[in-house]
Amino acid sequence: MFFNSLDFAIFFPIVFVLYWFFSKNLRQRNFFILVASYFFYGFWNWKFLSLIIISSFVDYFIGKKLFKEESPKKRKVLLYCSLLVNLGFLIYFKYFNFFIESFVDAFSLFGKELQIETLNIILPVGISFYTFQTLSYTIDIYKKKLEPTNDIIAFFSFVAFFPQLVAGPIERASHLLPQFFKKYTFNYEQVKSGILLMLWGLFKKMVIADRLAIVVNETFNNVNDYAGIEFIIGTIFFAFQIYCDFSGYSDIAIGISRTMGFDLMNNFERPYFSKSITEFWRRWHISLSTWFRDYVYIPLGGSRNGKYRTYFNLFMVFFISGIWHGAAMTFVIWGAIHGIIIVLEKATGKVRKKTFESIKLDKRSFFGKIFFITITFIIVCFAWIFFRANSLSDSLIIIDQIFSFGSSGKSITSELGMNQVEFYASLFFILFMLSFEWSHKKWNLSTLLQRQNTFVRWSFYAVSAIVIIILGVYGSFNESEFIYFQF
């Protein structure tokens, strides 16, 4: 079920009303959340509910056993059982065919053609997200940072919580699970804040991301028909498409949760205003970045074993992040690019600082901010080419065309699937979104709006909803899938 669908427009109001009806009794409320979450996920494909249920059962009982067990060897066995079940599902459904294809390609390099067919495997929506979420519960108990819960309904609800089930944010049990044991009272301001955040997320998804997808799909799916300028436009549009699509989903998820009294972590913090790739990853997909920091980077040794081991650990985090995003070489290269740049930034930090000081280029100055933000954005966009390209060969064609600085001679405002009005409207909405997020951070526009009279406030809400409906539905893109559903 998509957040931007008619089905969800019917589902959510019913769930919202019934949720507050059951809110006085914690067990009834949590059971209702669980049923609603399973219905939400099963609406897509009920058969894959079994995977969530199995993972939940395994980690619930292993968590209790881990807490009581004192033997280090037995505790490791229990942890490995959790890893085997959860990562086993993930590897089979997401990477099985990738391993077969890579195996066949490796033999073909030596002139040996293997006849091994791949399997017709459907990737369960959100498996990467809920797998990491439930794994963090078991790992934290193993590290004795968390005590297990004895309430199986609350735990199952934590794993399957429908607002963030299929595309995050990836919540830690230490933050989200205790919220299932709190009683909430209906708070008008909190509900209104949640609904406004949902509207903002829908605006980013339906009005910006889905419209930019027209140009992105046209250029990236027809790499032999276009040249440099068209691919530059397509790549920049993809940068904002994926941001508005994914951050839009996160905003909606956080907003839905807020209307129910729950608090989810912020997943994005204006990433395209970053002045380095290191800063970019502090602002982009924060829940995944911190997950890899705590469960991959630190266990590998972090920065405790010398600078070269630190560089290796940093690179491995982003290499694994690339694989997490998709079973294809394009994702591996995307992760490797970010890993290499992060390592270079770490290794050359002092030299770069002295160089910038010598030429009086200060990151805090207006010119310095613009310069470093632009350079960072260019690097991010270059890496996005591999992320979005349909194949490695396509990505190389696109890069070759971009650096040839050529043009296909086609009209940008008509041949790429948009007319002139739509093209410039898309640019306007991108600038509007960036301006809003920047100014909202500085002046908190919600507070400014709250100071206005009732008529002004509700006129703004009504106009916003109408704009989203009209512009979002226009072009029949109102039920398009969120990009991160494929992960």
Q: Which residues are catalytic?
A: 325
Give residues with Cβ within 8 angstroms of 116, minimum separation 6.
100, 103, 104
Cα 139 from Cα 76, distance rounded (Å): 10
Residue 453, both tokens: 């009279």
Neighbours of 273 (CB within 10 A): 17
Of the candidates 407, 392, 387, the one whose C-alpha atom is nearest the C-alpha of residue 232 is 407
| Angle (CA) 92 484 383, round 5° | 100
Neighbours of 119 (CB within 10 A): 8
Helix pair angle (420-443, 210-220), 10° resolution: 130
Neighbours of 88 (CB within 10 A): 11
Residue 79, both tokens: 């942890």
**Contact yes or no for 167/129 (Cβ under 8 A):** yes
Which own/partner pairs from 389-392 qualify as long-range (CB within 8 Å, at least 24 positions apart)?
389/220, 389/223, 389/330, 390/220, 390/221, 391/328, 391/330, 392/328, 392/329, 392/330, 392/333
